[in-house]
Amino acid sequence: MSSTLFNLQLDHIAHLQRAYAPMLSEHGFDSLAIYSGHASVHFADDHTPPFQTYGHFMHWVGLADVQHSWLIIQPEKRPQLYLYAPADFWHLPTHLPEEPWVAAFDVHFCSDKITPPLIGNAAIIGDTDQLAASHQQTMQAERQPEQLVNSLNELRLFKTPYEIACIREANRLAIAGHQAAQAAFIGASGELDIQLAYLGASRQRESNVPYQNIIGLNQHAGVLHYQHYDLNAPKRRYSLLVDAGRRFRGYCADITRAYAGPDAPVAFGELVTAMHDLKDELVKGVAPGVSFIALHEQMHQQLAEILVAHGLFKGTADQAVAEGVTRLFCPHGLGHSLGLQVHDVAGLRHSDGTPAPAPEQHPALRLTRTLRPGMVVTIEPGLYFIAMLLDPLRNTSLPVNWRLVDQLSSCGGIRIEDNVAVTESGFDNLTP
Ligand code: GLY
Ligand code: MN
Ligand code: MN
C-alpha cells in the first residue's frame, strides 16, 4: 500500500472514532454493535446471491464481503471486531488485509456465529432481522435507533480524504474496463462479450461489481437499468451505452459512457458529443453552496437547448422545459451521492435527519442537498428515445420533430456519467 493511502486510512479511522463518540452520547448510548449482515440462501436451496457488507460496517473495515460478523464501537476504546472465521475445509479461511486499520482494532476470530458482548446501554444496527431468534432474544439493546442511524448516514455523506482516494482508485480501475468495452464495441462484439471485456480489463469478477453493469447495444441503450446481456452481436450497430463500475476497498465507481456505432445516423454522434459537453458544463457547476436541485434544473434547461439546437424540438428551450418535454427525454435525476453504496445514504434528508424529498416534478432525483466540501456525487445527464414516455406526446401539438425521433429510436439513448468530489473551492473530477 502506498504510504499516502496508509496514512490516509489511519486518519480516516481516527476521524470515525472522533465522530462516533459524541454521536453515541448525544443519542444516549454507551456502545454500538454493527452487524455485517450475511447472504440468505435461495429458497429451498443452498446457493446464495452476491452479498455486500452493511455500509456502516464497511465504513470502518472497507471489506465488501464480511458476513456473520460484528463490530463494537465504544467511545475512547479500541474497536472490537468479532470476525466470523469458521474452521471450514470447504472454503478458504477468512483472512485480514495488510492495512493499518487491522492494528487499530482488537480482532477476535470466531469459529461460530456469535452474539457479541454488549456494553452498557447499547444500540444495534444492521440487518438483525436475519439473525436466528435465539440470537435476537439474547441481545438487550435498542435496534436501529432512527436518529442515530440518520446521524451515521450524515457522517457518511462527507467523505474523508481516504475515502476520496479510494473512489478515485475505483474510477481508475473502472476506466480501464470502459476502454476495453469501447474497443470490444469497435470490434463488433455483442453485449456479453463487451461485458466480459469490461470485467477482464477492470480486474473483477461479476459477483464483485458494485451494481449490475448496464451494457446496452442499440435500443437497449434506452432501457435505463437494462439487465440482460445478449449472447450474439446484432447485425447493425447503432449505439452502445456502458454504465459500469468497480469497487476499491468497498468504495464504488459509477461511470457511464455512450458511443455511436458505424450504422448510427450522423445526428446521433453529434448528440453524443453534445451530451459529453453538457456533462462537462454540469461538472463545472459543482461547488460548495450549490443546490443539487438547481443543478438538476440547469441540466433540463441545457438539455432543452440541445433538443432545439439539434432539431429534435422545433419550439423554444424554455417551452421544452415548461411543457415537461425534457423530463420525457431524461426521466432520471442528475445524479446521487456516491460512496460505499452506489446510491449512497443521506441524499434525501436534511442535515438534522428530517426528510428532504425529491421535488414533485422530479421524483427520481436522489439527492436534494446543498453541496458541501467532502460530498462525492455523480453527474449523469441523459437523453433517451423511450417510446413508452414519448408516444403520449404524439397526440399533442407540441413541436417535437417526430421524423428525427423515429430515426434515432434505434440508438436507444445516451448517458454520460462522471464521479465528482466537492472541494473547498469547487470540484475535483475523480473520473479520469
Ligand atoms: N448505475 C446506476 C446509476 O447510475 O445510478
Ligand atoms: Mn451509473
Ligand atoms: Mn449513477
Pairwise CA distance, residues 220 & 225, whole Å = 9
Answer whether 335's CB lies under 8 Å from 378's CB: yes
Answer whether 75's CB lies under 8 Å from 21's CB: yes
**Residue 160: its pLDDT value, please?**
98
> Under DSSP, is residue 432 helix (H, G, I), strand (E, B) or coil?
coil
Domain boundary among 141, 156, 171: 156
In angstroms, what is the span from residue 120 Cα to ligand 3's centroid?
41
To the nearest 10°, the Cα dihedral for 143, 146, 147, 152?
Answer: 80
Question: 145 and 261: one domain?
Answer: no
Shortest-distance atom of ligand 1 to CA 245: 1
Question: 7 and 148: one domain?
Answer: yes
**Residue 1: its pLDDT value, please?**
66
Task: Give the distance from CA 161 to its chain's centroid.
Answer: 18
Question: 173 and 253: one domain?
Answer: yes
Question: 239 and 351: one domain?
Answer: yes
Q: Which residue has the cell 470515525?
A: 16
In angstroms, what is the span from residue 419 Cα to ligand 1's centroid?
11
Ligand 1 pocket member 380 (CB < 6 A): yes
Pairwise CA distance, residues 400 & 394, whole Å = 8
Question: 13 and 94: one domain?
Answer: yes
Question: 333 and 351: one domain?
Answer: yes
The three-point CA angle 409-410-413 to 5° equals 65
Domain boundary among 130, 156, 182: 156
Ligand 1 pocket member 243 (CB < 6 A): yes
Question: 421 and 315: one domain?
Answer: yes
The dihedral sign for the CA sequence 383, 387, 389, 393: positive
CATH number for 31: 3.40.350.10
Determine the residue type at 182.
Answer: Q
- All three cell numbers of 156: 457518511
Question: 187 and 139: one domain?
Answer: no
Binding-site residue positions: 243, 254, 336, 380, 417
Ligand 1 pocket member 254 (CB < 6 A): yes
For helices 3-26 and 161-186, the axis angle rounded to 10 degrees is 120
What domain count does the chain have?
2
179 CB-contact burial (10 Å; exposed 0-12 / middle 13-18 / buried 19+) = middle
Reported as a pLDDT band with limits 50, 70 and 90, residue 299 is very high
Domain boundary among 95, 122, 156: 156
In angstroms, what is the span from residue 378 Cα to ligand 3's centroid?
6
Ligand 1 pocket test, pick from 256, 296, 334 with the greatest ligand atom count within 8 Å of Cβ, gives 256
Pairing relation of β-strands 122-125 and 142-143?
Answer: parallel
Reported as a pLDDT band with limits 50, 70 and 90, residue 94 is confident
Question: 202 and 244: one domain?
Answer: yes
In angstroms, what is the span from residue 417 Cα to ligand 2's centroid?
6
Taking CA atoms only, the protein residue closest to ligand 1 atom 3 is: 254
**Residue 93: its pLDDT value, please?**
78
The dihedral sign for the CA sequence 155, 76, 13, 29: negative
Reported as a pLDDT band with limits 50, 70 and 90, residue 295 is very high
pLDDT in tens, 115-169: 999 999 999 999 988 887 777 767 789 999 999 999 999 999 999 999 999 999 9
Question: 127 and 189: one domain?
Answer: no
**Residue 132: its pLDDT value, please?**
78
Reported as a pLDDT band with limits 50, 70 and 90, residue 281 is very high
Binding-site residue positions for Mn(2+): 243, 254, 336, 380, 417
Q: Which residue has the cell 446510491?
A: 343
pLDDT in tens, 310-346: 999 999 999 999 999 999 999 999 999 999 999 999 9
Taking CA atoms only, the protein residue closest to ligand 1 atom 4 is: 254
- All three cell numbers of 251: 468504495
- Ligand index nearest the alpha carbon of residue 226: 1
Question: 369 and 228: one domain?
Answer: yes
Question: 318 and 231: one domain?
Answer: yes
Shortest-distance atom of ligand 1 to CA 380: 4
Residues near ion ligand 2 (Cβ under 5 Å): 243, 254, 256, 417
CATH number for 166: 3.90.230.10
Largest Cα–Cα distance in the chain?
71
- Ligand index nearest the alpha carbon of residue 212: 1
Q: Find the domain containing 23 and state its range.
A: 3-156
